[in-house]
């Protein structure tokens, strides 16, 4: 596993007493493509914790993207974790189950179950990692952004029998070129087809369109998108920002002229500066000092 001089990493399973909503399938084997840093066919979700040398008590769960078909685990997982470590933030890279009828009774809820339990697990064990249980955030890239924002708006949805009353609510969210809406107008069809199926009902589409479920209790958000994103329209970020504003939830959005889709920590376009803006937001929001 990738490490740096300022971090140490350790991977562990999320579910200790059986994975909910799971179908045993011996023929379904996880695949890691090392050359391109992608993982697919995840059956056993894990968290990989990256601990900085000088942790400040803030932590973040990282949800890599990949259209709910694979996880871009290096570019949108391990590398961002190392960047967060440089800020003193403890980072947890979430290797979540990808929706599949081959291994799940209800594929649409599987990723959310993993995200909810990840927050609960970290909050239960906050003292173990010297973390503040009230400063647990989530960041998602592309379809991982959809998972992060679904958790942010459905953290109290009962998707499995939790072992205790520990809250699954993240305290803040960061959404980087996120898939948001599942409605026809601006949907990323590949993500919707994988998560909900090709013939999903309007009711199911609405259920997994987080902009329709924002309340005054939704966590504050930082959003990033590029105008020239040819994969996921920037309007996804716009509709979520509008919903947050309507409910007086603190939010900040940066729309860059160039960057395309999938730029990770940045590229040679203007999107390369989003991490600087994010750092300022974290500081001014008093998430970190």
Q: At 153, list the tokens.
A: 């708006």
What are the pLDDT digits (tens) for 98-108?
A: 999 999 999 99
How far is it between the farthest Cα atoms of the chain?
49
Average per-residue pLDDT in the chain?
A: 94
What are the pLDDT digits (tens) for 223-264?
A: 999 999 999 999 999 999 999 999 999 999 999 999 999 999
Please, which residues have CB within 8 angstroms of residue 25's CB and are 6 or more apart in sequence?
43, 102, 103
Query: Could you give the angle at which helices 110-124 and 143-154 cross, rounded to 10 degrees?
Result: 60
Give the Cα separation of 87 and 265 in Å (integer).
14
The confidence score (pLDDT) of residue 157 equals 97
Q: Quick check: 7 pLDDT over 70?
A: no
The confidence score (pLDDT) of residue 8 equals 58
User: Residue 143 forms beta bridges with which residues?
Assistant: none
Q: Quick check: 286 pLDDT over 90?
A: yes
Compute the average pLDDT of residues 38-44. Answer: 96
Full DSSP string of 130-185:
T--TT-EEEEEETHHHHHHHHHHHHTT---S--SS------SEEEEES-----STT
Q: Which residue has 């003292």 as its token pair?
A: 127
What secondary structure letter does DSSP report for 271? G
Q: Quick check: 4 pLDDT over 80?
A: no
């Amino acid at each position: 596993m990738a490490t740096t001089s300022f971090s140490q990493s350790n991977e562990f399973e999320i579910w200790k007493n059986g994975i909910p909503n799971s179908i045993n399938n011996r023929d379904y084997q996880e695949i890691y493509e090392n050359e391109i840093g992608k993982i697919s066919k995840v059956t056993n979700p894990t968290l990989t914790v990256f601990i900085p040398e000088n942790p400040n008590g803030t932590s973040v769960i990282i949800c890599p993207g990949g259209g709910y078909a694979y996880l871009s685990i290096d570019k949108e997982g391990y590398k961002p974790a190392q960047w967060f470590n440089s800020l003193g933030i403890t980072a947890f890279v979430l290797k979540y189950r990808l929706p599949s009828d081959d291994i799940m009774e209800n594929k649409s809820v599987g990723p959310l179950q993993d995200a909810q339990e990840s927050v609960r697990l970290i909050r239960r064990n906050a003292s173990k990692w010297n973390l503040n249980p009230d400063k647990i955030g989530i960041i998602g890239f592309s379809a991982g952004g959809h998972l992060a924002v679904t958790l942010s708006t459905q953290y109290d949805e009962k998707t499995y029998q939790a072992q205790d009353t520990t809250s699954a609510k993240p305290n803040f969210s960061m959404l980087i070129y996120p898939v948001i809406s599942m409605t026809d107008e601006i949907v990323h069809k590949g993500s919707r087809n994988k998560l909900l199926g090709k013939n999903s009902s309007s009711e199911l589409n609405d259920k997994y369109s987080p902009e329709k479920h924002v309340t005054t209790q939704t966590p504050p958000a930082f959003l990033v998108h590029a105008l020239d994103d040819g994969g996921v329209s920037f309007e996804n970020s716009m509709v979520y920002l509008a919903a947050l504003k309507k409910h007086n939830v603190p939010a900040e959005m940066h729309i860059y002229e160039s960057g395309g889709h999938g730029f990770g920590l940045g590229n040679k376009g203007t999107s390369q500066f989003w991490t600087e803006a994010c750092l300022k937001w974290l500081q001014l929001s008093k998430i970190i000092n």
